[in-house]
Structure 1
Amino acid sequence: METHATQKVEEKLFQNRYRVDAGRPHIRIKDAELCTHQCSQKQCTVCCPAGCYTQEGNGKVVLITDGCMECGTCRIVCDEHRNLDWEWPRGGFGILFKFG
């Protein structure tokens, strides 16, 4: 009987590398007040697989793009408000996938 080693998704993601483009985030929240006061579900804080979005105790959504996998999930879940400026990172920056 053949056995397969199992590895958690988090362990696989840890093998990828990310090159931060200091001072030039490729995603920005357009209006932080809109996130705080008009977005009731704050889906970005639970849907982002890299955990780039967090919600503070006062309801404010904070975005740190370091580690972003450029999957586009945030653009999909923020479709109602369209409150993101999203672009690809400059060449040589962003996620560097180890396995393709």
Structure 2
Amino acid sequence: MSDYPEVSFEDRMSTVDFRVSDRAHIEVDSDVCRSCTTRECVHACPANLFVPTDDGVILFNYEQCFECGTCYLLCNKEGAITWTYPDGGEGVTFRKG
């Protein structure tokens, strides 16, 4: 038995605001990604924001990124992912539920 109440995904997400910047804080180098066979970023992203295409490219939808850094930490290809913090006042904000 857990000490925490069960909370639905929808209720959890209702406490998250995304202030989308015009500048992507994560960029993916498609040329590097084409040679990747493991696709760690696709499998590990908790928000499912990495999308592989039929031609080997990986697209990244930064608009609802939690900024956890998992993709950057797990990617095993030098230079495939460039991660920076979003501009001030932009990005993800967690509110008390």
Shift of 1:14: 4.0
* C-alpha RMSD of matched pairs (Å): 2.1
Q: Which runs of 5+ in 2 are unaligned?
A: none
Query: After the TM superposition, which parts of structure 1 deviate over 3 Å for at least 4 consecutive aligned residues?
Result: 8-11
Please show how residues 5-84 of structure 1 align to structure 2 within 5 Å: 5-9=5-9, 11-22=11-22, 24-29=23-28, 31-36=29-34, 38-84=35-81
The percentage of aligned residue pairs carrying the same residue is 30
Shift of 1:33: 1.9
Matches of 2:8 and 2:53 in 1, distance apart? 28
Aligned residues: 94
Secondary structure (helix, strand or coil) at the match of 1:66 reads helix
Q: Which runs of 5+ in 1 are unaligned?
A: none
Compared with structure 1, are the counterparts of its residues 39 and 14 closer, same or farther at alpha carbon in structure 2 (3 Å cutoff)?
Answer: farther
Q: TM-score with structure 2 length normalisation?
A: 0.82
Matches of 1:60 and 1:75 in 2, distance apart? 17
Matches of 1:46 and 1:56 in 2, distance apart? 14
